[in-house]
Amino acid sequence: MKKLTENRKTGNLGEDLACRFLMKRGFDVIEKNYLKKCGEIDIIAKNMGKIHFIEVKSVSHETIVGVSGETNGIDSFRPEDNVHPWKLQRLARTIQVYLQEKNVSSETDWQFDVITVYIDKKRLVSKVNMLENVVL
């Protein structure tokens, strides 16, 4: 069995926290980690008849301080900046595959969102933000 890296553990925790965040706001989580050759969608959820394809970017406080080299880490580091143009292209292709595979009607509304999760493991707190309807 593979040992999970610290980054993967942080990512898994962030996805779990993002799912709880969504469910508290009335979303139904349909799938997690939808994986195809062309890419992966972290969370697929539905709310008020609309499908939400969600990319989750998680970062731990320890990682932020190490990366930024500053003590104000969380305020100056934006994990959503790690959603690069090539990642958006892969996500767009994967969304199209999902819509075709699941025979989703062309009349069905959908959007792409990004959820950022800041995790402070020492204090056992997290902060979740949702950027809605991001252009692909």
Which pLDDT does position 52 carry in this prediction? Answer: 98
Higher pLDDT, 41 or 1: 41
| Helical H segments across the chain, by residue range | 6-24, 61-68, 73-76, 85-101
pTM of the full structure: 0.83
Task: Say which DSSP state 25 is in.
Answer: T
30-34, 83-87, 100-104, 121-125: range with lowest mean pLDDT = 83-87
- Examine the pLDDT at 102 and tell me if it is beyond 50: yes
For residue 58, which of 130, 131, 118, 2 has the smallest C-alpha distance? Answer: 118
* Domain 6-131 class in CATH: alpha beta
Q: Are residues 11 and 58 in contact, defined by beta-carbon separation less than 8 angstroms?
A: yes
